[in-house]
Chain A
Amino acid sequence: MKARIKFRKYGSLRFIGHLDVMRFFQKVMRRADIPIAFSGGYSPHMIMSFANPLGIGLTSDGEYFDIELTEAVNSADAVRRMNEACQIEGIEIVSIRRIAEEKKMTGMTILAGADYLTSVRKGAFPEGWKEQFSEFMEQLEIRIVKQTKRSEKEVDIKPLIYAWELRGDSVYLKVAAGSVENLKPDLVMEAFCQFLGIEPDSVKFQHHRLEMYTDRSEDGSLIPLEAMGVDMTGDEE
């Protein structure tokens, strides 16, 4: 039986990398006695797959991983047990929900978008940046050089920005995420710095992920990954 867990990552936990978060949850599963399934072989490991690893330095209200259960659990009870087992400041389990059994439905493959809240952590934008941000977003194209492991190429990121909004001194962005198209908020802000004509290193940002979405909804609109699942009573078979 497959289940999807949603969690928050905040505070000093932003300095813990993805692989270590995974190891952390493996230990949480043991401490909380969650009936998680193991792979076979001589060194069995827990069947656990993360939707989209969060980079070091980022915080989030909407992180996801999918697991395989050997039996159903009561969702509310399991959330409570896992939170007790987390024990630390910086991780909070939000939900555990049963998801469809089909393969290729894990968070990683169906991920299509993500929301971020981005704010200035160090340095400052020039006066009137908010108006300029609107102008920046209203361009037909936003071209920027994207560094990949092997090469660099100029891309237009405008089509990958699905929505945006100024929220106080922060910027809200809904962008493409997943294995096909993926846009990091840092790249958007880098393009904005170029647009402003300021040194890219003069302003540093704090990015906070709010939610992750899939487009496998009935009408193809983006719905939160969590919405693909249902709460368990513990009696399911």
Chain B
Amino acid sequence: MRKLALDDDILLEIEKPARYIGGEVNAVMKNVEDIDVRFAMCFPDVYEIGMSHLGIQILYDMFNHREDVWCERVYSPWHDLDKVMREQQIPLFALESQDPIKDFDFLGITIQFEMCYTNILQILDLSQIPLHAKDRTLDDPFVIGGGPCTYNPEPIAEFFDIFYIGEGETAYDELLDAYKEWKGSGKSRREFLERAAQIEGLYIPIFYDAEYNEDGTLKSFTPNNEYAPAVVKKQIVMDVTDAPYPMKPVVPFIKVTQDRVVLEIQRGCIRGCRFCQAGMLYRPVRERNVERLKQYAHDMLQNTGHEEISLSSLSSSDYSELKELVTYLIDEFKNKGINISLPSLRIDAFSLDVMSKVQDIRKSSLTFAPEAGSQRMRDVINKGLTEEVILNGAGEAFEGGWTKVKLYFMLGLPTETEEDMKEIAHLAEKVARRYYEIPKDQRHGKCQITASSSFFVPKPFTPFQWAPMCKAEEYMRRAHLVNDEFKEQLNRKSLKYNWHDAEVTVLEGIMARGDRKISKAIEEAYRLGCLFDSWTESFHNELWMQAFENTGVDIDFYNLRERGEDELFPWDFIDIGVTRKFLRREWDRAMEEKVTPNCRMQCSGCGAAKFGGGVCYEGKN
């Protein structure tokens, strides 16, 4: 019988012991004796969040297909277990073998959002691995980071041996083979890293030096090792249809956030919204073959027993075979008690028809993401959605029986005026009015329009990477201004407005565009007790502020400055395909309130065509 790393007393004491025992359906067990490379794959958040992440499932499956590798999973111990592990000095362990992470060859950490940085330190700390890469020895695993936040890895560069920049399906085999050659060769840790530096897409932070100008901006960023390239190229899978995909994803015992079969229908997005990092990073759009997806749906439902299937992509409506796929899913699975979940669909006649088949209209709500209240602001951010489209979509939905609408907005966008902010309330009001145009005897009571706003965080590799942010107080002023405007609306009783917290936004801002100098503030915040910062109940802004003060890191320098056109950014050494020239052109067009057509309408020459495939070459074969 499997032996567990934690004894019964601990497991019976803590919340949800199932987070730590592994042994789930489709979890991969191997014999350690037959294995050359042990890889611990980590999502630095609690199990229920980490288990919901598709990327890890893909890599887990891909690694375990190799007979010489055993990939296991590890997630952040929740506060209760964290405390026990520190008190009893229990080393963090992997779920499958329950063996300590420190005995593994690699610890891979996926970095999906900025507010997980203290959790990364917790993982290292509980694993009893030195926090700083420079302090690690031959006894320690190589710590490798991946995921969207690695497109500016600098704030956490000191904690990692290697960053993998781009999609995981391409370069890992080469790295694992190189590791096998190195292991037992008697060579040093540094020699392995030098070998890794020669693999395309891998960034080894200790092989680079950053120099700064007197004003604190970056002066130069150069390799200090002959094997390290000056530019690190993003990795990308051009043939997504034949790329590895997990037919037997692990099925958790406990309810997790994404408790369903997930079909990734495409990667990338044609839209080019100027605030959206994913939209730039994952260019060009690559679609998965629809027949393959149908097969995947069938096999994955059979292998997991899940009762729900969901499509995943940045903008499902842009998938060219959507109708074919959705019709198939409904015909094939609806009467077998399988729920079909269709997120990120544009509201139109087709999607309303489909949604009326797969959900209870009276209970479900329709979602629009206009992102900004005024047309002017939507032009600035290049969000093609117009008021007319929203009102027509909402109108059709209301006539079809829906009464609930959700609207998502951002506040604090570049060039935003008070008028733009107030337009958020006005747009919500217009949607409500559209509802009350329906004759009273044909509608179902009141409508419920819920508008939510988050605060905009400028991200690297977007046209807004030059944009200044605001102070927390200013964000709150804007949210209150919108809230006041909501109260002035005729249909205010049918409207609801929620806004996000501004303090987290400020921190996300500094992490997103920070440089190596802020790593000491992150470490200090962790020392002061910050952990699970993305969980409202665990977030302690005062500790973070204390950490910045203790380390002398100036938040305003990173957030409030409009960056110069030619300023060298910490992330400029990464080549994502999309050029800085294109991003700057898009910034200029934003300032001119000019919309740029999407990739299918007209190529804007962003640079992603150099990958030689995807939407850039559609219809050109």
* Chain A residues proximal to chain B, CB less than 8 Å: 11-13, 15-17, 20, 23-24, 26-31, 38, 42-46, 56-57, 85-90, 121-122, 204, 206
Contact = CB atoms under 8 A, between A and B. Distances in A.
A12 B337 contact: no
Nearest to B11: A15
Which of A20, A26, A29, A88 has the most C-beta atoms of chain B within 10 angstroms of its own C-beta? A88
Given A29-B305, A88-B24, A11 B12 contact: no
A88 B11 contact: no
Given A27-B251, A29-B305, A57-B8, 5 more contacts: A15-B11, A24-B25, A26-B305, A30-B302, A42-B360
A167 to B, nearest CB: 21
Contacts of A121: 8
16 contacts: A11-B1, A12-B2, A15-B12, A15-B17, A20-B255, A24-B25, A27-B306, A29-B305, A30-B307, A43-B339, A44-B337, A57-B8, A85-B305, A89-B2, A204-B8, A206-B8
Interface string B317-338: 0000000000000000000010
Given A15-B11, A16-B253, A90 B23 contact: yes
Contacts of A16: 18, 253-254
A162 B21 CA distance: 36
A56 B17 contact: yes
Given A26-B305, A31-B303, A12 B23 contact: yes
B177 to A, nearest CB: 31
Interface string B1-26: 11010001101100001100111111
A15 B20 CA distance: 10
B301 interface: yes
Contact of B253 (A20, A42, A89): A20
A38 B337 contact: yes
A31 B1 contact: no
Given A20-B254, A121-B8, A122-B9, A15 B25 contact: no
B305 A30 contact: yes
Closest 5 CB pairs of A and B: A27-B305, A30-B305, A15-B17, A31-B305, A42-B360
B365 interface: no
A12 B4 contact: yes
Contact of A31 (B17, B21, B23, B302): B302
Contacts of B23: 11-13, 88-90
Contact of B1 (A17, A30, A38, A89): A89
B336 to A, nearest CB: 8
A26 B259 CA distance: 13
B64 interface: no
Contacts of B8: 57, 121-122, 204, 206
A204 B11 CA distance: 14
Contact of B26 (A20, A87, A206): A87
B304 interface: yes
Interface in B173-194: none
A44 B4 CA distance: 37
B306 to A, nearest CB: 7
A35 to B, nearest CB: 11
Contacts, number: 76
A128 to B, nearest CB: 27
B255 A11 contact: no
Contacts of A11: 1-2, 23
A13 B253 CA distance: 9
B337 A87 contact: no
Contacts of B303: 31
Contact of B307 (A26, A56, A85): A26
Contact of B21 (A12, A23, A44, A86): A12
Interface in B556-593: none
A57 B12 contact: yes
Interface centre among A26, A42, A45 (most CB of B within 10 A): A42
Contact of B25 (A27, A29, A122): A27
B329 to A, nearest CB: 16
Nearest to B14: A15
B412 to A, nearest CB: 39
A183 to B, nearest CB: 21
Nearest to A19: B255
Nearest to A44: B337
Nearest to B303: A31
A28 B9 contact: no
A11 B302 CA distance: 26
Contacts of B26: 87
A144 B253 CA distance: 36
A46 to B, nearest CB: 8
A56 B23 CA distance: 16
Contacts of A13: 23
A18 to B, nearest CB: 11
Contacts of A31: 302-305
Contacts of B9: 122, 204
Nearest to B20: A15
Given A20-B253, A56-B12, A89-B23, A27 B304 contact: yes
Given A15-B18, A15-B21, A30 B2 contact: no
A121 B8 CA distance: 9
Contacts of B2: 11-12, 89
Nearest to A11: B1
Kindly name the residue among B17, B253, B303 whose own CB sees the greatest number of chain A CB atoms within 10 A.
B253
Nearest to B29: A89
B253 A24 contact: yes
B18 A28 contact: no
A90 B8 CA distance: 16
Contacts of A122: 8-9
